[in-house]
Structure formats: C-alpha cells, structure tokens
Structure 1
Amino acid sequence: MIEVLTTTDSQKLLHQLNALLEQESRCQPKVCGLRLIESAHDNGLRMTARLRDFEVKDLLSLTQFFGFDTETFSLAVNLLDRFLSKVKVQPKHLGCVGLSCFYLAVKSIEEERNVPLATDLIRISQYRFTVSDLMRMEKIVLEKVCWKVKATTAFQFLQLYYSLLQENLPLER
C-alpha cells in the first residue's frame, strides 16, 4: 500500500518543482534552433539530429571513462543543445564544440582535483585539435550561453522525483 503524501511533503515537492521549472525556462535550448537541426538532411554540410546524437554518445563514453557524475553528463548535453540551438555548427567542428561543453560541465560539477588536463582530454577523446582550439571554443560556448553554465536539467527532475518516492514508499517495496 502506498502512503499518501502529507501536506508538508506536497508543499515541499511543489516548492522544489517550481524552483526547478523557473530555473529551467532560463536555460533551455531555443526550440526554433533545435527544429532546424531536426529537419536538416544529412548532406555532410549541415548539423543534423543524427550527428548531435553521435556527439552525445561520445560525451557519455567520456563521462563513463572518467567516472564522472551523471549530472556532469546531463549538463554537458544541456550546454551542447543550448549552443547548437543558437549557432550553425559545421559538422567538422562538432567534436570541438562537444568536448568544450563537456569540459565546461566537468569544471562546473566535478571536484577540482578530478578535472583532467585539457591535453589529456583531447588525447583520450582522439580528436585532432589543439588545447588553444578547445579554449577558444570554450569561450565561444560561454558567450553564446551568456556565461550561464549551471542549468536545470532533466536529471535534476528525476533526482527530485526519485528521492520523494523513496521517502514515501514503505521499505518493503
């Protein structure tokens, strides 16, 4: 039998959800930019949803390789989507954009002692650009997301729902 949420728990949930929703609206990718990516045909000259998905898989692989938090991955994808929705990225530059978003997320979420050197990150990811290319792209990404690296992500919503379920379900379930 599922216990009914108390008024206090309901208020707590509502307050946390409202706070996340308010923050989320400020850090969402532009829908019109994402629609352009989704409707693009794969001719090698334009960004497509498929190329974006491949880059997200690379970000997931890097997250797992380094043992970073899921929150780091989620923020990296959020940064990537926010950037792609504002800038027409050529497919040949997508690796640099993705790695820059990942590096920003790592520096934002992970403990400083766990942040890899840029040279190591580039070497492990097997991309063929320099540290100065990565740093230059990082600056461009930061400018396009208005220097707002922290963002509300789907992962944060899932964490909230999960913790509330754990609190309110009997132990035997």
Structure 2
Amino acid sequence: MDAFKLMKELRLNYEQEVYYLPKETGLALIESAVEGDRRISAKCRDAKVEDLWSLTSFFGYSTQTFVLAVNLLDRFLAMMRIQPKHLSCVSLSCLHMAAKVTEEECDLTPTDELIRIGQCRFTVSDLSRMEKIVAEKLDFKAKAVTALTFLQLYHRIALWHSSDRKQTLSLEKLEAQLKACLCRISFSKAKPSVLALSLLRQEIEAIRSQDMLEIACQIQRHLKIADGELRQWSERVARCLSDYASPECSKPDHRKLQWVVSRRTAQNLHSHRSVPELPTIPEACWDENDSEDSCVDMLSSGEESLSSSLGSDAGGTFFPMHLRRQEHRQYLHA
C-alpha cells in the first residue's frame, strides 16, 4: 500500500473512531464505584481485562483479538448495569466474539474448553445467550476501530517514510505496551488515535529518531490532534509504563496458567461441565437513578481470577525499568 492510500485509510478510521468509544458517563459510574457496591468497579474491570490478556496469550490469540475483546467489554459495561458476579460471563463472551472475527476458524478454542480453562461456572448456553445480548446492544457488525488499528497504521506510515533504516520501530513492543495501558480503565476514555500516537511517540523517544519524530508530527497535523490533548495522554502513557515496570508493581508469572494441567485442577474443571441450565438472562441499561435491584441478574457464578499471570509479553524488554520522564517531556516538545 502506497503512502497516499495509507493516509486515506488513516483519515477514514479517524472519522469512524467516535462510533466505537465507550460512553463516558458509564465509565465515570464504574470509576466511582466503591468496595461493597453491587456494580462493577474500576478495580474489578481492570482485573478482568488482565484475565483476558492471560487467556489470549494462553490460547495463542492475536493482539487484535485481545484489543477487540476489551473494546467490546468496555462499551458494554459503560452501557449496561451488571453485578460483579456476572462479569466473567460478559468478558468471556467478548473474547469469544472477538476471536470469531479475528482468528482463523481452525484456531478457535471450543466454547466448552474456553469456559473450562477460564474456570468459569456457567454453561455454553449461558455464553451463547450473553453473546447475543452483547452483539445486540452494541450493534456489533464484526469490526471496530481501536487503538491497535491506528498503531498498525502509524507503524506502516513511519516505516514507509523513514529514511533512517538503522532505527527499528518494534510493532511487537508497541502492541505489548498498548495491552498494559488497556488494563487500566482510565485509558478507555482516550481516543484510540491519540492513545496510539502517544505510544508511538513514547517509542520514538526511546530510540531517539529525529526522522521518525517528524513523521509523528506530520501524522498529528494530518489528523488535527491538539498539542494539549496529545501531551496529556503521552504523559499518562509514560507514567503507566513506568509504574508497570517499577519494582512495586507485581510482575506476571511467565509460567502462566500452568495450574491448568494439575490433576486437582483438572478434576475441578471437569466438574464444571455438569453445571445445570440457568434462568433466562434479563437485561437492564445503566441508569444512575435506578435502585441496586435493577441491575442485570444474569447468572450465578463464582469464578477465580487469572490476573496473577498475564500474557507472555507482559514484561521483559518491552517495559524498561526506568523511563526518563523529564527527558520524555523535553523530547516531545523538541
């Protein structure tokens, strides 16, 4: 694809991104939830996204599958009022929907195995009904414009125009850092185009390529992204990646999901196949004036969190131990 077609595709996606953003009012309600509330909190949401990262890596799914699943999850949670005990069914439904769009059919994990490995206490029928609800509420038509959409386009544009072939711009590293950001609900409020450009400039700062910095500036001008908006999210990205790499941040266990093959766990997981059918799933939308009893009461579950072991790309050289924040800010405005 030549440069003109790349820029045209970039503009088309930029015009479409607004249709795939979670509702800000819904995100605000999630962020305002406190412990003990019968609704999803930011901490609960973030832990479930980490679970999706673990499962995505375990099943060998692509970054595109993970990012699309998170996009569907955030949009649904920002629209529908559900209880924490129902979150596993919603999140796994989003992952399965995303995988059916982005993965080859031969690579799809069978639904019963997805539920079993995810240690979820609901049935294939429950998952199928939930997928239909999510698809209907989001008017899902097998596509979404996400930060990964822009990250991949930016990467291709940068490589096309760059004359400095000695500098390498790692898309794999950028994708891993995007995953880390998406594990925090605050980044769900960022425009995908701006979040992706913030990550791109973060990496450009790391490799110190003046040539690519100018390309990033051209992209910013082409999309008419305000300096203040880009600066705000660039600083948040730098802070997120710095926090993620700090010794205080719990590091993922790179032996991820090895507990799945233990005999005791296998016996426990096998018993999940006999879960009885549950009542029909009623629905309700977000309304901060509603009583707690109006929450969607979809099914009863007792899932454990997988978030103690993220994907295989959740660490290492993709997250340097010390990000030079001051130099980062100076370089962005050089």
Verify same fold: TM over 0.5.
yes
**Residue 29 of structure 1 aligns with which residue?**
22
* CA displacement 1:100-128 (0-9 Å, x = unmatched): 00000000110011111100000110111
The 3-state SS of whatever aligns with 2:122 is coil
- Determine the structure 2 residue equivalent to 1:3: none
Q: Which has the larger radius of gyration?
A: 2
The answer to whether the 8 Å contact 1:96/1:137 transfers is yes
Counterpart selection for 1:63 from 27, 33, 56: 56
Per-residue deviation, 1:14: 3.8
Match of 2:91 in 1: 98
**C-alpha distance in structure 2 between counterparts of 1:74 and 1:51, whole Å:** 18
Note the 1:1-173 alignment, pairs <5 A: 9=3, 11-169=4-162, 170-173=164-167
TM-score normalised per structure 2: 0.48
- In structure 2, distance between residues paired with 1:160 and 1:50: 31
Letter in 2 for 1:168: H
How far apart, CA to CA, are the structure 2 residues paired with 1:33 and 1:148? 22
**1:28: how far off?**
1.4
Distance 1:15 1:49 in 2: 36
2: CA distance, partners of 1:48 / 1:125: 21
1:62-109 CA-to-partner distances (Å, cap 9, x unmatched) read 110011110000000000011001101100000000000000000011
Percent of counterpart pairs with the same letter?
52
Q: Is the contact made by 1:62 and 1:125 (CA closer than 8 Å) also made in structure 2?
A: yes
Give ranges in structure 1 of 5+ residues lacking alignment.
1-7
**Matching residue's letter, 2:124:** V
SS of the residue 2:40 aligns to? coil
C-alpha contact 1:142 1:149 (8 A) present in aligned 2: no
Deviation at 1:16, TM superposition (A): 2.2
Q: Distance in 2 between matches of 1:14 and 1:147?
A: 26
- Mapped to 2, the partners of 1:33 and 1:131 lie a distance apart of 28
Instruction: List gaps (5 residues or longer) in structure 2.
Output: 168-334
Give the aligned residue type for 2:24.
V
Tell me, in whole angstroms, the C-alpha distance in 2 between the residues paired with 1:71 and 1:109: 7
CA drift of 1:23 comes to: 2.0
Which structure shows the bigger proportion of residues in helix conformation? 1
TM-score (normalizing by structure 1): 0.90
Report the secondary structure of 2:141's partner residue: coil
Supply the distance in 1 between the matched residues of 2:128 and 2:67 (Cα, whole angstroms): 21
**In 2, Cα distance between the equivalents of 1:100 and 1:91?**
15
